[in-house]
Structure 1
Amino acid sequence: MGGVLGRWLRWVSVGELLGFCVPTAVFALTVALGVPDLLVLPAMVLGGLGEGLVLGWSQSRVLREVLPVPARRWTVATGVGGAVAWALGMAPSTFVAVWTTWPVVVIVLVGAVIGLALLLSIGLAQWTVLRRHLARARWWVLATALAWGVGLGVFGAVTSPLWRPGQGLPLVIAIGLLGGALMAVSMAATTGVALRELLRRQVLDAPAAPEPERGAQTAPGNPS
């Protein structure tokens, strides 16, 4: 179990960075082609699906070494979670003309619900698969939400000071990929620590094998 964290960190960091390239490329195409705003949302949802599929596949490379998790189901579940996350994340900018007319209290409440749902989306989707193989799988949902909160926070802290109005698309994408790489590493590290702890707890919770009785008689047919 000691090497799980290192393998997870390598596979998931690279997997998430490669996966993040999918919605990044989709966004670049929508800008280059002048896609209408209402069509950008479904395009980015598809990009999120692609990101989730790549991330799920990379995670399954490590999970299959320690748990009998079906790689295909895990990958598909992660893809669905990624699509939902991007749908929630893109909705505010897509429908900005609608929600800006709402009372401030409603905006805050709806924003909080959307933000929480976004952070929980991938973990909940993965939980539907993991709960059959890990006793404390419910904690994975919270750990994954925390990991994405950390990752998105790192992404925002890196990209916000670097992005400037009037920058060319290649520079905008390069900054986004830099933030994406750091997001991937921080998310992978947080989920990796959580996975290692959950696996350790599963081992500790497992019932110990019964010890053989002392002085047991020799079985018939095998005289001592």
Structure 2
Amino acid sequence: MSLLRDWTVSATAGEFVGFLVPAVVGAVLFDSAAALPALMVAGVVEGSVLGWSQARVLRHRLPAMSVRRWVLGTGVAAACAYLLGMSPSTFYETWSAWPVAIPIALGVLFGVALLGSIGVAQWLELRRHLPRAGRWIVWTAGAWLAGLTLFLVVCTPLWQPGQPLWLTVAIGALGGLLMAFVTALVTGFGIRHLLGTEHPAAPVVRA
């Protein structure tokens, strides 16, 4: 398999399987006070599965990489992403009383941090092995922007009040599959670019 194809297949499967956990948690605990902490825990699961699915491909190109650090970093970053993404709605009653400029500024800040969270976490490991690894943050941010946008475009009009739980989860799973494929494909192009098309790069070890 080519690097792009192998990465896309593995990362799509990993993100889709991992996303099923927060999809179910979110549907069951919708509007519950426990939703945010539960989704953060589910995010650790999702991120860890995604990280492993990426690392199993990447370690063939970068044998010196730490799979443990990659998986752990991705899991923690995913939990942070859920915290950033859910905070505006969870704490709406608090920030809605603030001057309008503050929520707007925080929304932009949270959005940028959310999109960059996984890329930054993975960059901490990738920079040990590749020069100019910071470009990975841009690739992953773009991938998640595209994937999350597609997810919202597909799922938002399909989710309706009063739907049975199974239908809510099924719609989320459909959106999750599309999101997983898009993010995997874009990051696949990114990792291929960083590694130098189909040839493994010499590791650059930093103290």
Task: Report the TM-score, using the length of structure 1 for normalisation.
Answer: 0.85
Is 1:51 paired with 2:46? yes
Could you tell me how far apart the structure 2 residues matched to 1:202 and 1:18 are?
A: 27
Could you tell me how far apart the structure 1 residues matched to 2:67 and 2:199 are?
A: 22
Whichever residue aligns with residue 10 of structure 2, its letter is W
* Match of residue 161 from structure 1: 157
- Cα displacement (A) at 1:25: 2.2
- Cα displacement (A) at 1:204: 10
Percent of aligned positions that are identical = 48
Unpaired segments ≥5 residues, structure 1:
207-224
Could you tell me how far apart the structure 2 residues matched to 1:95 and 1:160 are?
A: 21
SS, match of residue 162 in structure 2: coil
Could you tell me how far apart the structure 1 residues matched to 2:189 and 2:152 are?
A: 23
Is 1:91 paired with 2:81? no
Bigger Rg over Cα: 1
Could you tell me how far apart the structure 2 residues matched to 1:25 and 1:83 are?
A: 16
**Structure possessing the higher relative contact order (Cα contacts under 8 Å, 6 or more residues apart):** 2
Whichever residue aligns with residue 183 of structure 1, its letter is M
Whichever residue aligns with residue 11 of structure 1, its letter is S
Please list the CA deviations of residues 95-117 of structure 1 after superposition, one character each: whole Å capped at 9, or x if unmatched: 01011111221111110000000
CA contact (8 A) 1:154 1:179 kept: yes
SS, match of residue 157 in structure 2: helix
* Match of residue 148 from structure 1: 144
- Cα displacement (A) at 1:201: 7.3
CA contact (8 A) 2:192 2:198 kept: no
Please list the CA deviations of residues 111-130 of structure 1 after superposition, one character each: whole Å capped at 9, or x if unmatched: 00000000001111111111
* Match of residue 21 from structure 2: 22
Q: How does 1:167-182 map to 2 (within 5 A)?
A: 167-182=163-178
Q: How does 1:1-224 map to 2 (within 5 A)?
A: 3-31=2-30, 36-37=32-33, 39-67=34-62, 68-200=64-196
Could you tell me how far apart the structure 2 residues matched to 1:101 and 1:202 are?
A: 54
Task: Report the TM-score, using the length of structure 2 for normalisation.
Answer: 0.92
Instruction: Give every structure 1 segment of 4 or more consecutive aligned residues whose post-TM-superposition deviation is greater than 4 Å.
Output: 201-206
Could you tell me how far apart the structure 2 residues matched to 1:18 and 1:144 are?
A: 19
- Cα displacement (A) at 1:133: 0.6
- Cα displacement (A) at 1:202: 10
- What is the Cα-based RMSD across aligned positions, in Å? 1.9
SS, match of residue 186 in structure 2: helix
Could you tell me how far apart the structure 1 residues matched to 2:86 and 2:133 are?
A: 29
